[in-house]
Structure formats: C-alpha cells, structure tokens
Chains A and B, each alone.
Chain A
Amino acid sequence: MRNDYVRKEVCKRGRIFRANFEAHSNPSLSVGHVSRVLRTPPPPTSVGLWKTQRCEHRPAPFPPDDYKSHPALRSRTLRQSKMADTMATAGAGSSGTRSGGKQSTNPADNYHLARRRTLQVVVSSLLTEAGFESAEKASVETLTEMLQSYISEIGRSAKSYCEHTARTQPTLSDIVVTLVEMGFNVDTLPAYAKRSQRMVITAPPVTNQPVTPKALTAGQNRPHPPHIPSHFPEFPDPHTYIKTPTYREPVSDYQVLREKAASQRRDVERALTRFMAKTGETQSLFKDDVSTFPLIAARPFTIPYLTALLPSELEMQQMEETDSSEQDEQTDTENLPLHISTDDSGAEKENTSVLQQNSSLTGSRNGEESLIDNPYLRPVKKPKIRRKKSLS
C-alpha cells in the first residue's frame, strides 16, 4: 500500500523534486555572498535522515574553505554528499530567510523552521523557473509539504537499504535503488542538473565544525564539474572512488581457494548450527556437558516424507545453476519442482504439456489435456435422479 501511494505521489511530485534539486545546485547564486549576508546559525542538517552528518551549531559564518574541507563530508561518496548538502543547503536557506539574527527558539524548532524556509525558497525558485510570477501562500505551502515528504521518504528508504546490507552509511547505490524504487528515472537526473536555465540558491551558512585533525590528503582532489555549486563539498580523496592498483597477486591459487571456500563454508555451517542449537532445544551426547557438541533436538514432522523426498531449496538452486551452465547432457533430464509447469526437458518431450493436470479434482482443464482419454481426466458427472439410494 505504501509503495503504491509513493508511486502515485511520485508522478505528481517528480517535477517538483527536480526543480528543488535544481534550485540547490544553481551555480549562478553566489555562495559566499549569501552566507555572509544571512549569517544565520545553521541548524543541524539532518535529524531524521543522516545522523552521521549532523553538524554542530556555530554562531559565526564560516568560510567556504572550512566547509569544503570538512572531514566528515569528505569521506562520503559523491552522491551521498550531494544529498547531504542538499539538505544542509535547504536547512540553512530556510533559517536564513526567517530567523535573521534572532535566536530565541530552541535549536530543534529552529532547525525545523529553517528547513521549512529553505524548502519554501526552493519551491519558489522552481516556480519562478517554471514561469510563475506569483503564488498564493497556501499553494506554496502545499508544494513545500509535498517536497518535504518526498525528500524524507528518500532518506528513510535509503537508510533501510543501507541497513539491509549491514552498513551504517548510505552509499550511492542505496540512493539510486531508492529512487528507482520510488519510480524516479535516475538517468534523467544528470541532464536535469546541467540544464541551462537553472537557478542557484545561495550556499547556506554552515555551523562550526568540531575540530578534527586534518586527515592526510592523498592525491589531487577532483574539481567540481560546472553544474555543481562550489560551496558543495569537495570530492573525497581519489582513492575512495577510483581503482587503486594493488601490488599483491590476487589469490588465484587453486589450493588456497578451495581451502578458503571449505573453511568458510564450514565456519558458516558451524556458526549457523550452533546458533540454532543455542536458540532451540538441544540434545547432548554427554550428560555433563551440553554445550561442546550441541545437537539440535530431533523434532518430528507432521508429514515426514515431504522433507525427506523433495529436494531442498539449496539443491534446487544448484540444479538450476548446473542446468543453466548446461554442464553435461544426460539421458534423463530432471523435472525440477521449480519448472514443472514450464519445462520438461528431454525425457518427456512433446507430451509434457498435455500432462499438466491435477485438474481432475477441479474438473477444469485446458483443451490439450482432453485429447488424452483417461478416465481420471474425465469430468465428474452430476448426480442423476435415479434409484441411487435404493441400495442402502
């Protein structure tokens, strides 16, 4: 349900989002200028989204240079930093429009308001870009609301994807998958970012950074392409995204590979079975010790023959693999449960599709099957009004 909703929404919102994105990356606005003019304390950037990127409150505007060399940002991958900056920019922008120098509200409120403002700026600039000259406040508010929820959804979803793969920081691919999942055509994004008539929003004032030691720089950082505002963080060090040649011979020795595969499998199996044994009932061969050789307790099945006879999923998967690689052709080919209804290679040849039935139970079958005259395939007759009961 949720996904459906999101997809529907995406159709409506896609355009707005794009506009929003555009707004941030408009290089025509001078970053330095804005930050100097506004001097707003920027709120923490992403309470709900990327905790790792939360910035600290800093009253004074900090120079773009500082901002660029922020280590936390530097370590991010390209897309990730873009997104983060999007938020940061938005937050800073909104707070800038509203709070000026007044800092009576608490930081959280501040942050929300600031973000809201930025979004409004973005919406407004997009509207402007689209040719609107004025807009009612209510409609701008609505659009802002939609934009906000859209961005929140990207964040939430990207976070799930990244956690699913056991990471804490989203990577580019998480975002891409998220966007694809939300129905957004990612391929159109670069072209949109480079469009000529885009508006650029000023760089947000950035809070002061925790004083972190400068990391060793390795290699020359890549310069920004023209469509990325210069206040955006720099590319991370090249070694984080380009291929680093290594000088150790990759492990291709057969023996080592086999060794590795074997011990890996064994470790996994051991860990898995131990886990199962720990979490469930066990039996032991030694009365005094139940943990050294824990045996998962024997549990009777209600239908024991099914597990005993049907190939396990792993085996079926293997079968498929060996099938697809067409290792060796055998005389009797297999009828795997997985592809029973579709393929019956080899042994059963042309008659196979004719055989697909358990239809005699339901009485329905396709035309082909009725070609075979087998009494078990014939339809069940309706009871006749006849002497049926007379026998009993």
Chain B
Amino acid sequence: MPPTGLEPARMNRKKGDKGFESPRPYKLTHQVVCINNINFQRKSVVGFVELTIFPTVANLNRIKLNSKQCRIYRVRINDLEAAFIYNDPTLEVCHNESKQRNLNYFSNAYAAAVSAVDPDAGNGELCIKVPSELWKHVDELKVLKIHINFSLDQPKGGLHFVVPSVEGSMAERGAHVFSCGYQNSTRFWFPCVDSYSELCTWKLEFTVDAAMVAVSNGDLVETVYTHDMRKKTFHYMLTIPTAASNIALAIGPFEILVDPYMHEVTHFCLPQLLPLLKHTTSYLHEVFEFYEEILTCRYPYSCFKTVFIDEAYVEVAAYASMSIFSTNLLHSAMIIDETPLTRRCLAQSLAQQFFGCFISRMSWSDEWVLKGISGYIYGLWMKKTFGVNEYRHWIKEELDKIVAYELKTGGVLLHPIFGGGKEKDNPASHLYFSIKHPHTLSWEYYTMFQCKAHLVMRLIENRISMEFMLQVFNKLLSLASTASSQKFQSHMWSQMLVSTFGFLKSISNVSGKDIQPLIKQWVDQSGVVKFYGSFAFNRKRNVLELEIKQDYTSPGTQKYVGPLKVTVQELDGSFNHTLQIEENSLKHDIPCHSKSRRNKKKKIPLMNGEEVDMDLSAMDADSPLLWIRIDPDMSVLRKVEFEQADFMWQYQLRYERDVVAQQESILALEKFPTPASRLALTDILEQEQCFYRVRMSACFCLAKIANSMVSTWTGPPAMKSLFTRMFCCKTCPNIVKTNNFMSFQSYFLQKTMPVAMALLRDVHNLCPKEVLTFILDLIKYNDNRKNKFSDNYYRAEMIDALANSVTPAVSVNNEVRTLDNLNPDVRLILEEITRFLNMEKLLPSYRHTITVSCLRAIRVLQKNGHVPSDPTLFKSYAEYGHFVDIRIAALEAVVDYTKVDRSYEELQWLLNMIQNDPVPYVRHKILHMLTKNPPFTKNMESPLCNEALVDQLWKLMNSGTSHDWRLRCGAVDLYFTLFGLSRPSCLPLPELGLVLNLKEKKAVLNPTIIPEVITGNQETAINPSGHAQLVGFQNPFSSSQDEEEIDMDTVHDSQAFISHHLNMLERPSTPGLSKYRPASSRALMPQHSPGGDGTPLTKPQWGMELARKGTGIHLGVFNLEGKEQSPLEMSMHPVATAPLSVFSKESTSSKHSDHHHHHHHEHKKKKKKHKHKHKHKHKHESKEKDKEPFTFSSPASGRSIRSPSLSD
C-alpha cells in the first residue's frame, strides 16, 4: 500500500521530472461512447460510456471521473452495480448565503473548486466506488470495465443544439448539434477522464436520424440502419490514443464533399452551402502538403474531416482527426477579404492537428509548447503562402499586441510552475484570476498566451536555426507515432504527451545549444522589455553614441540582459552591430564606417544589397547616419521607443525595405507634420512595389499629418488627387472607374483611402465639404457590374468613410434632435445610409457587411448628436435570428449607448441577454464588449453602480455561468472592470463597520497581501491530488487537512447539486442515486469519522501548517474570535470571512459522500470548530504579538457556519 503522502508528488511535474506519471491510480486504455438517441426537439441525448481501466495500485476502491451536466442513471463495474456520487463544486463557487462580494475571494474559491475536480490532479466530479466484490479482482490489477448510462437534457454547454424554427423535419430545417467548449470540456457531454494527458483508444457510436450524418473522430467503420430503417448508426474507431478532451461530435443533415485531391479528407457543410464549401476547401490540400513537407511527417491520422456549423463557439476548433469551423468562414470566389482569413483558419486548425491533437500535453503548464509549435508552423505557412512581408507584418502585429497587453495587465506567464506552494512569490500576483488552471483564465489572457507562445517559439528558432527547430518537431512527432502504434502497451502512450522539459531536452539534444537563458527570460518569467533609445553622433571620433535605457519597474516589464542587434544605415551601407545589454551600461559607442563627407554621385547600398540614389539634401551634413534601428529582427519581446530626427524616419520610410521598419517610421512620422513627411508618405502611397499594408497605414498617417498642418496645407485635400489619378477616369476625374478588383493591392488601397480621407478636418475641425462630396460621388458612381468580385466590403468601407467624416453637431442649448435642424451634410449621409440599409434587406451582401457598417455609422451619428440617441433600432438588430455579425455590431452600439447614456435599462437588457441568449458566442461577446467599453469602472461614480447590479453579476459568475468556462471567466473580467478586486463601494457597509471597510481597501491596494492569499489557496488546490483512493478506506490519518478542505467544499456543493437535480427532475429513472447512496455511505462512514475526529489530535502541527500556508481561512476564524489582529491580517479579512464556512466544514474531514450524513456529523463539526479556533488563537498569539485590537463579529460569517451542509 503506497503511502498517501507521496501522491501529491506525482503532480509535481517540474522541469527535471522525467516521463509522465499519471495522477490517477489507474490507466485508462479504451473508451466506448455510445449515443443511441438524440432528440432535437427536446434537445436531449441518451447514451452510455464504457471505460476500460487497469488499476495501477492494488487498493483502488474509488474511481474519479469527470462529468458535468450529465444525468447519470447507473454505473456498473464489470457488470456489478456500483455506488457513485456526482458532485460539482464549480456549479456554485461561493455559497448562496455568503454576502461576500470580493473578487479575490471569488477567484480563490473558484480556483479551488476547479482544482477539486481537475483531472490533472486526479480529481473528478463523479466518484465511483468499486464494489467490494471486485476488491480482490482489483488487487490483482485486473481490468475493470466501467459502464455508465447517462443522459443530457437541454445542455447549456458542451453540446450546442441549433434548431431553426421552420417547417419540416429536423433534417429539412437544417437542425444540427455539435460539441464545443473551451479547453477540456468534454465532460460536459459524456463522462470521461477529461484530461489532455489521459490517452486511450476510442469506439464511438452515434445513432441518428437517417437523413443526418454524425461526424466524429477516427475512422468511420460502418454505417448501419436500425431495424425500423428510420435511423442509422455511425460506428467510429479511433485507434490512435487520444485524450477525451480531443473528442468531438457534429450531427446534422450535412452535405458531404470528398476532397478531390485527398480522398481521405471529407468536408461537411449545412444544406445549400455545398458550392461555397467546394470553393472554400479547394485550397486545403496545399496546407496539408506544406505541413507534411516541413515536418517531414505524414499527417498522423488516417482521415481528416472538416465540419462547418452554425452558431459556432469559436471560429476554429481542432479535435483529433477533425476540425469544427464556423459556417461563416465559407465564401464564394467573389469574396476577396474573407478568403485569406478563412485560409488562415484552415491552416491554423491543421497545425493543431499535429500539435495539440495528435501530440497532447502533459499538464496545463506545458500548454505553451503546443500552442507555440502550432502557432509557429502556422507562421511558417503564412510566410510561404502570403510572403515574407505579410509574415513580418503579422509578427510585428502580434508583438505589438502582446506588448500592449502585458504592459496593461502586468504580464503573461507561459510556463507557470506550481510547486508545492512553497514559493512565496506568486507568478500571477498581478492578476485577478488564477492562472493555475485553464478554466480560470480570462479569455483575453489566453489569447495573448497563445500569441506569446508562438512568438517565443520564433525566438527559439532565431537561437537554434529553423533547421534544428524542424528536426525537434520531427523528433517529437516520430516518437509519438511510434508510441501510437503500440496498441497494447499503453504505458508507451505517454510518449505522445509533450512537456516543457521534454521539449527543451529535445532542443538541446538536437541543436546542442543551451537555450536556458532564453527560456528563463520568456517562458519562466512574465513581462516584456521596454527600451528607450536615443543617440548622438560624435563627429570628432566618428562614433555613434547610442543610449539605450530600459524600464523594468512598470508592471508587465522585465529587465533584459543579453545581446541586442542594432542596424545602422550609413552612407556607405548598412551595418549590423550586436550590443551587449548589461546591468548598468546605457551608452554604447558604435564606430561609423563612412565619413560624413559625401560623394554625391555615389549610390547608397542598402541592407538587401540594392543600391539606390537618394536625395541627401535633407540630412545633417555632418553625420553619415541615415537611420538606425534597434532590434530589427524582433528577437526580443519588446517595445522600442527610439528617437531620431524626422528626416531619418523619412529616409527609413522611403528606402528601408523591411515592412516593419516602414511601419515604424510611419508611426513615428505622425509626430512630424512637415511637408517633407507629407512628401515621403505620398511617395510611398504611389509606389506600386510597396507592401499594401504599409501603404494603407500611410493613408491614415497622412490624414493625421494633414490635420496637424491644416493651416499651412496647400493643394487639394490629402490623397484626393492621388485617388483620382489611381482610380478615377482619365477624362472625367470626378467619376470613379467601374470596379475592377483584379489587383488586390490596389483594391485594398482603394478601400482604405476614402476612409482615411474622411478623417481630414479643416480649420473649423469639420470634414471639408470637398471630401464629403468626393466620398458621396464614389458611392454614387460605384459600378460593380463588370467586376469579377463582390464589392460588398468596398461599399461597407465607403459607409465607414461617411461615418468617419461626421463631426460633433453644433447644438444650441441642448435642443432636441429633430429632422428640421439636421445638418444638410448629415442629411446626405443619412440618405445614403438609409438607402444602403434598406437595399440590404432586398439584396443582402456577403456577411451583411453593409448592414454592419450602417449600424456603426448610425451609432456615430447618434453619438455626435445629429440623430437622437436611441438604442431601439440596435436592439431590434441584436435579436436572435439576425446574422451574427449584425448582432455583434448592434450589441456593440447598445453597449456604447449604455455607457454614454448611463442607461440602467439597457444594461439590464444586456445582462439578460448574457444569461439567456441561445448563442454562446454572442453571450461571450457581450461580456467582452462590456469589459472593453464598460458603463463605469471601479474608480468612477455612476448611478448604474448599485447593490442589485453587484448581486446580479455576482450571481452570474458564481452560479449562472457554470456551464461555460469562457463565459464565467468573462463575467469575472466584467466584475473586475466594474468593481475591482475589493468589495464594491456601492454596497452597504458590512455590519462590521467602517474600520474594516477601510482596511479592506487597503488590503486590495497592498500588493503583499494578495500573493499570500493566492499561494495559500494554490496549495489547497494542489494537495488533494490522489488521496482519494486512500482516505476513508485504508488510512484515515494520512490525509491532510487541505485535502479535506477541498473535499468538504465539494461535498457541500454536490449536495446542493444532487438535491437540486432530484427535485427538479424527479425522474423515476434515477433510482441509482437514492438507491446506492446508503450503500456508499455505509461503506464510507465508519472509516471516516475517526479521521475527522482524530486528525487534529494526531497531528498537532496542523494549525501551524495552515498558518504557514497563509490562507485567509485562519484569519477569518481568528477574527471571529474577536482577537487581536495585525493591520495586515485585518485587511485580509474580507477575503477570509467567507472561507470560514468552507473551513469549518472542511475541518470535519469527511469525504465526498459525507453529505448524506450530516446528521451524524453535526455535533462533531461543532466540536471541531472550537478546536480549530483554539488552534488559531494559539497560533496567532505565539506568532504575532503586536496587534491592534479589533473586534469583529459578522453575521454573514456566522451564518456561513450554518452552511447548507449542516442544515439538512
């Protein structure tokens, strides 16, 4: 019998750990999922799963599995009925009775709840007791087959039903269902071990209506009619070991398209969309070829399926051998703008097939490797497909994004290590959520996490060369494919899991290079680098004196030490210098190659070997420097603010061939509104060879410069003559040529220029009449009849241009906006918008781009006071049934209205939609938009901020969004944005009085507090790992309190959950629960109570332990006792009060099943509580002598002692 104490060590997968050790006392080898009935009308699913497991310890008597939302009827192990408990602490994170409204507290509780069922910690919502008859069998480590019958009724997450309400059969209506979710969410639709690290082979069976197709992972072995010939059963086999989290399902009346190039690839789409599907997927084979070539590895699965579905959860979701896409990615050949986006999505999903599906991860902290590799090879594909310019542009864009995010929020950590809770400095102390678990992450953080992962992968490539990089990938893949073919040696399967350690080891094996410093800097540490650069040229020494400063004290920054490349373009050529950035060296002397005396005839060699003539008259006669770039290859995750003269930026823009440099100089030139800048930008705009995105951003820069130069600007409005020359008829320059979008570069320019022009302002800060007329003429003369491509995006941008031209209305003493006082220009704009919007009803454009633009424009008009501000129109467009893009645009307008007009009614309407909208994506999006554009923020007085709203949001994140991780994290984001970490100020003071409240505020502001709290909690989350099989059966004394803490917590909720279920459903077919409950409790009880009672006695260091861990819990107890407390601890109080309830229950040391027997325990609990209190008292008295007197007695916490678990 292995000692329990060792179990947590298994979890501890730090670098240095070798191989993979399962957190579970058994190994899953095969799983059958059979869904034999799907009812679209009722949105229900009935089926069973059968898991084949091999115990790895002799005394396995409880098996924990993951399951959410499913109603479990019956569990059998090797055909023997087994008792089980189903409890899910994440259903309601904090308990109802708690009046805590503190986000810190919530985050901790939520992290604890998620950990309590985390499969990576060996936990699960479903705990099955192995029948005693099988104990002997188990001791021999023989196979167990767990058969679970379950059903799912109106699932709110995991499976999404789309059932259009039209006439006809379900197939005719295009009804379909698909699995979805964020990270490992398979537990939402069938019981499983919902971990990326538990691999097994699969047999999947789905019985569906004869007119439907069920698409799932693996090979379709056969399709068989049922006896009545009304239904078909699809039999799938997946022989490559796969994690449950990578299992997916899509059922619908799909049209089927076999890829003409690769017959093992099949595409599915909804009825009527086949032509679009054909066009959209016609490119996919090239992506396949590309990946297979660079990875020198065949696509690992024997088949691949793409399914395009409506109301998608995310645009792209990759699962083993299949990907689920949003149907909105489909497009016809006429559509320009969507094509590259869709291809990107396809390529992205395919990259994830290799890294993410086939190769899975060992633990959450290894996620960055998979996201990094798949993102990196996707980047390589981009480079090949769209060219180096596009690639570099994308890298720059991603870099800017991650830099901005990290500087704003304080850092993204790729490889968080949660070892034992010893480390005091929590890696994520700046965040209001736990990064220990994917399900507690803010969605935006996760997006940025992925972004950083692939950028870091690129840094590694820079370090070890691409060749080695690809060899590493190939090595990982070939190891995995060898392992995957080992049918009966499931222990080999762990080779298919990647870990940070394994990955780094591969790198060092393959390349022989030490990349530890790089990993330490970017992977083990969060933050980016912020450089400030300036220079001076020393003529006497002919030396460039470069000064590079760093800001590493602001949040989200870190210090960089190491090499830094600087490129100097001189008259004699371009020279690279590698500077060593060290602790204190700020100045770097760089010798110049060229003399400042210029030979006027000579051409100037550029970096790429090109030699060009330049007009050097602008530059400083004494200096040979044309321009300087710091870190031109973006080999540091950094933000550079560099100072150089305007003419240097202009040279850089004109002559530097790197698009990133051009982009940077455009950004810098905004600050130099001079005719020279204007000329440089205009030249770039006209240059056909120049990358189109650079030209597009030059448009906007030119508009800004023109506005700054408004008093001295000569000639027609910026870009007008240029546009006329490029796109208008030679004979009649006011008429635009009929559309011909064959050249995409000029198409994008043609689209963008008017939008930028509309930003021009005259001296009165109005859009010049000339520009408005020009844009109106463009709209008027737009003629797409001879065009091969649709002009819907172009027209949409014209409306955007109109919206850009709108300036605030001149209003005399707040008169009411009516038609009569409508500005004549606005009247023209409104005329166009009306016509466009109405025409969309008759001849809708692709993805309704025009409607979207019109809605935005109307909101702009409202906001500028031309049209009465009114959300009614937007609300009607936001309704379910409109195309999702329209809905989002309309909702954005409502969100904006809510903010500007401070409308409580609209906010309620939005919140209502968050809770009730049928489309998960829309709900997520509303939260996101509210977070981005909040009606008020934590430091703001607002009439909207009231107690009811706090309660509402609290409820939303506490229990209202338990079916969708992403949504819940979104609600947390919003709560944070609105109220911050501490108790919202709009709430009435808790009964304790003002003192506490002040302290509370202090606590939030004090950065030293928060890490402590989180650390403590972290530990509680980690410890429960793997003790389950022992506690209560064999070794009641070995379990630690922390484990029990979690267990009790879950018990509490499970009870609520089960009773809720029983009450709600009253299904006669659920006798399993009641029937087997007594059995399980009987088995557990006797062994239990001694544990509960005995622990404090047998482990005297217990109280000590807790205190050291620094949880808020003991503080809470302490406060309750009314004893002294340090300001520090006191300030912790709000965090602490509610956990009291958790603690008091937890300390009764019971198991998941315990809730059935509260009556047995009640007296014990009370007794124990006292004990605990005493412990703490001692603790504090001994540890901290000097404390301020403080009296505290909270009815809230008092109530929480009588938690529901006690009161039944």
Contacts and interface: CB of A to CB of B under 8 A. Distances in A.
A241 interface: no
Interface in B259-292: 260-261, 263-264, 266, 270, 272-276, 278-279, 282-283
Contacts of B880: 300
Contacts of A301: 881-883
A48 B1103 CA distance: 109
Nearest to A311: B332
Interface in A258-305: 258-259, 261-263, 266, 269-270, 272-273, 276-277, 283, 285-289, 292-305
A195 B881 CA distance: 69
Contact of A308 (B174, B831, B883): B883
A295 B174 contact: no
B334 interface: yes
Interface residues of A, number: 84
Contact of A358 (B222, B274, B819, B845): B274
Contact of B331 (A255, A295, A309, A340): A309
A355 B260 contact: yes
Contacts of B278: 335, 340, 344, 348, 355
Interface in A82-114: none
Nearest to B232: A380
A151 interface: no
B834 A293 contact: yes
B226 interface: yes
Interface string B854-870: 00001001000001101
A270 B835 contact: yes
A336 B331 CA distance: 11
A72 interface: no
Contact of B873 (A277, A285, A357): A285
Contact of B332 (A254, A287, A299, A335): A335
B698 interface: no
B781 interface: yes
A286 B868 CA distance: 7
B861 to A, nearest CB: 8
A218 interface: no
Given A348-B260, A372-B263, A285 B848 contact: no
Interface stretch (B13-21, B655-663, B783-791, B999-1007): B783-791
Chain A CB within 10 A, most for which of B327, B729, B834: B834
Contacts of B843: 312, 314
A307 B868 contact: no
Given A292-B819, A334-B332, A273 B258 contact: no
B731 A334 contact: no
Given A286-B819, A286-B867, A309 B282 contact: no
Contacts of A391: 34, 48
B227 A276 contact: no
A136 interface: no
A168 B260 CA distance: 57
A374 interface: yes
B164 A303 contact: yes
B833 to A, nearest CB: 8
B274 A375 contact: no
Contacts of A340: 274-275, 278
A143 to B, nearest CB: 52
A69 B224 CA distance: 84
A314 to B, nearest CB: 6
Chain B CB within 10 A, most for which of A289, A305, A381: A305
B279 A318 contact: no
Given A258-B732, A270-B835, A340-B274, A348 B282 contact: yes
Nearest to A287: B868
B783 A276 contact: no
A355 B274 CA distance: 11
Contact of B174 (A303, A376, A392): A303
A311 B790 contact: yes
Nearest to B881: A300
B883 A307 contact: yes
B166 interface: yes
A373 interface: yes
A298 B882 contact: yes
Contact of B835 (A269, A287, A352): A269
A315 B847 contact: no
Interface in B313-335: 327-328, 330-334
A9 B715 CA distance: 78
B283 to A, nearest CB: 8
Contacts of A288: 818-819
A378 B742 CA distance: 42
B858 A285 contact: yes
A337 interface: yes
A245 B697 CA distance: 56
B310 interface: yes
B223 interface: yes
A381 B263 contact: no
27 contacts: A258-B781, A266-B780, A269-B835, A273-B835, A273-B838, A283-B872, A285-B858, A285-B868, A285-B873, A295-B834, A295-B838, A298-B879, A298-B882, A302-B164, A303-B310, A305-B310, A308-B847, A308-B885, A312-B844, A315-B790, A328-B788, A330-B333, A333-B333, A340-B278, A347-B279, A348-B278, A378-B222
Interface of A: 254-255, 258-259, 261-263, 266, 269-270, 272-273, 276-277, 283, 285-289, 292-312, 314-315, 318-319, 321-322, 327-328, 330, 332-337, 340, 344, 347-349, 351-352, 354-355, 357-358, 360-361, 372-378, 380-384, 388, 391-392
Closest 5 CB pairs of A and B: A300-B881, A334-B333, A273-B838, A351-B260, A375-B220
